Amino acid sequence: MPHGIFSFLKTTLGAALLTAGLTAANAADLRVLTHSSFTVPKPLLAQFEKDNGVKLRITKGGDAGEMLNKLILTKANPIADVVYGIDNAFAPKALAAGVLDTSTAAAAGRKPAAELPAPLVPVDYGYVTLNYDKAWFAKNGVAVPKTLDDLTQPAYAKLLVVQNPATSSPGYAFLLSTIGAMGEDKAFDFWAKLRANGLKVAKGWTEAYYTEFSQNGGKHPIVVSYATSPAAEVFYSKTKLSEPPTASLSLPGAVFRQVEGVALVKGGKQRAAAEKFVEFMRSPAVQTAMQTDMWMYPAEAGVAKADAFRFAPEPTAFNAPSDADIAAKGSDWVARWTKVVLK
Amino acid sequence: MAFETPRLKQPRPWAWHRWALAAVPLLFLAVVLVAPAVRLMLEGGSADLWAPWQDSYLRGRLLWSLAQAAMTCGLVLLIGLPMGWVLARLDFPGRGLLLRGLMMPFVVPTLVAAMGVLALMGPRGLLAQWGGPDLQGTPWLLLFGNLFFNLCVLVRAAVDALSQVSAARVAAARSLGATPWRAFWRVEWPAIAPWLASALCLVFLYCFSGFGLALVLGGQAYATAEVEIYTLVAHELQLGQASVLSVWMLLLTGAVALGYAAVERRLATPARADGVSRRPARGVAQWSAVMVTVSVWMLVCAAPLIAIAHGAMFSGADAWGVLREDDTLLALYNTVQFSLLALVLATVLGVAHALAARRVLWLRTLVFLPFIVSPAMVAFGLLLLYPEASGSFGVLVAAYALLAYPFVAKSVASRLDSLPAHYMEAARSLGASPWRCFWRVTLPLLAPALRRGMAFAAATAVGEFAVSLFLSRPEWATLTTLIYQHLGKPGAVNLGAAQVLACVLMGLALLAFVLIEWPDKEGDARA
pLDDT of B4 reads 44
A164 to chain B nearest CA, in Å?
8
C-alpha distances in Å from residue A178, one per residue of A195, A208, A253: 15, 19, 5
CA distance B111 to A207: 10
CB contact under 8 A, B383 and A25: no
The model carries a pTM of 0.86
Q: Which of A52-66, A124-138, B262-276, B339-353 has the lowest mean pLDDT?
A: B262-276
**Does pLDDT of B11 surpass 60?**
no
CB contact under 8 A, A238 and B391: no
Q: Which of the four pLDDT bands, split at 50, 70 and 90, describes residue A296?
A: very high
Given a contact cutoff of 8 angstroms between Cβ atoms, the answer to whether A163 and A199 are in contact is no
Instruction: Give the model confidence (pLDDT) of B391-440 as tens digits.
Output: 788 888 898 899 889 989 988 888 887 777 777 778 778 878 777 887 88
**Does pLDDT of A234 surpass 50?**
yes
Concatenated DSSP letters for A2-69? HHHHHHHHHHHHHHHHHHTT-----TTEEEEEE-TT----HHHHHHHHHHHT-EEEEEE-SSHHHHHH
Please list every residue in chain B whose beta carbon sits closer than 8 Å to the beta carbon of residue A233.
490-492
> Which of A70, A201, A214 lies at the smallest CB-CB distance from B383?
A70
**Residue type at position A37:** S
A127 to chain B nearest CA, in Å?
15
Q: Which of the four pLDDT bands, split at 50, 70 and 90, describes residue A4?
A: low
Please list every residue in chain B whose beta carbon sits closer than 8 Å to the beta carbon of residue A225.
490
Please list every residue in chain B whose beta carbon sits closer than 8 Å to the beta carbon of residue A295.
489-490
Residues in chain A: 343
Nearest chain B alpha carbon to A40? B474
Nearest chain A alpha carbon to B61? A343
CB contact under 8 A, A218 and B42: no
DSSP conformational letter for B269: -
Of the residues B237, B241, B310, B348, the best mutation for testing chain A's interface (the one with the most A CB atoms within 10 Å of its CB) is B237
CA distance B71 to B76: 9
pLDDT of B467 reads 63
pLDDT of A192 reads 96
**Does pLDDT of B522 surpass 60?**
no
Contacts of A96 (CB under 8 A, 6+ apart): A327
Q: Please give the angle made by the CA atoms of B86, B91 and B96, to the nearest 5 degrees.
A: 90
Please list every residue in chain B whose beta carbon sits closer than 8 Å to the beta carbon of residue A203.
215-216, 219-220
Please list every residue in chain A whose beta carbon sits closer than 8 Å to the beta carbon of residue B388.
14, 23, 25, 77
pLDDT of A337 reads 94
Given a contact cutoff of 8 angstroms between Cβ atoms, the answer to whether A300 and A280 are in contact is no
**Does pLDDT of B10 surpass 70?**
no
Mean pLDDT of A207-217: 86
CB contact under 8 A, A236 and B124: no
**Strand positions, DSSP E, B26-120:** 90-91
Instruction: Give the model confidence (pLDDT) of B271-291 as tens digits.
Output: 566 777 788 888 888 899 999
ipTM score assigned to the predicted complex: 0.84
A300 to chain B nearest CA, in Å?
23
> Which of B231, B318, B493 lies at the smallest CB-CB distance from A167?
B231
CA distance B359 to B316: 56
CA distance B527 to B514: 17
pLDDT of B371 reads 83
CB contact under 8 A, B136 and A219: yes
Please list every residue in chain B whose beta carbon sits closer than 8 Å to the beta carbon of residue A209.
490
Given a contact cutoff of 8 angstroms between Cβ atoms, the answer to whether A297 and A318 are in contact is no
Of the residues A8, A90, A210, the best mutation for testing chain B's interface (the one with the most B CB atoms within 10 Å of its CB) is A210
Please list every residue in chain A whose beta carbon sits closer than 8 Å to the beta carbon of residue B392.
17, 22-25
